[in-house]
Every structure is written in C-alpha cells, then in structure tokens.
Amino acid sequence: MSNYHVIYDGNCNLCVSLVQQMEKLDQGAQFDYIPMQDQQTLNRFGISEQDCEMGMILIETANPETRWQGSEAAEEIARQLPFAEGLVALYRQLPGLKFLGDQAYEQVRDNRYQWFGKREQTYYSPYPIGCNAEKTANS
C-alpha cells in the first residue's frame, strides 16, 4: 500500500504530465493517484469540488487527517523523493523564495487550462487508490 494519495486534476494536461512522470519514478511504491473528477472516491475523504479548486491535495495514507494542498502538497511530494529533499529544504529556507513559489503555483493553478490545455477525457492512473504496486507492475 502506498504512503500517500495524490489528488490531481485529471483533465489538466500539465497535471497529468506531472503525474505520469511521478508514476515512472515511483511506480506506485509511495504514491497512488485520484483524479479530482472521481467525486465518489473523494467523498470517502470528505473532499468537495470546491476543495479541489484550491489545487492538488496530498493525503497521508496512514493518517488521512494529515493533508497538504496546493504548493505545500507539491513541496511535500518533492520532499519524499530522495534526490529532491535537500532542494526543498533549501527552497523553504531562502527568504522570499517560498512566497514566490506559492504565487507561481496559484497562477498556474488558475490558468492551467488556458496555458496547458484541457484533456477531452479524464486521465486515470494505473496506480489508483488501494493499488498493490507489485501486482500492477507484474500485470
């Protein structure tokens, strides 16, 4: 079972591209993925469409009350990747950089369809919630 649930916009070309890169790196070991369009699954976590408007969400599997959203979710995901943990720590320590990153995230979030396009069909990850990564990898 994965350590985190990543809730992403399955209709956003940029979001889907980033999820696909994470899938290649992680192969379901730490992360599973839920598109924001899967309201039935999101209901299990008490997440509404309005909640999703604020950006991606990361939920800790073992403690679902522990959540990050927006740029904090992106930072926490990066922090879990072995090669990026030091970069995230540096990013958080440099004065003003986190503020700029938060602002940039909001701009991308609010303009993602205009800048990167919108998919005709929602992307569903091969590593969905509850996925057994070993089973998926061997299928």
Tally the domains of the chain.
1
Q: Which residues, other chains included, contact 135 with Cβ-Cβ below 8 Å and sequence gap of 6+? A: none
Print the domain residue range for 98. Answer: 4-138
Residue 2: is its pLDDT beyond 50?
yes
> If pLDDT is split at 50, 70 and 90, which confidence band does 137 have?
very low
The two tokens of residue 47 are 């997440």
Torsion angle defined by CA atoms of residues 28, 85, 113 and 60, in that order, rounded to the nearest 10 degrees:
50
Residues 10-35 pLDDT 10s: 999 999 999 999 999 899 999 999 99
Confidence of residue 79 (pLDDT cuts 50, 70, 90): confident
CB contact set of 125 (below 8 Å; sequence gap of 6+) = 19, 23, 32, 33, 35
pLDDT at 138 over 90: no
Average pLDDT, the chain: 90
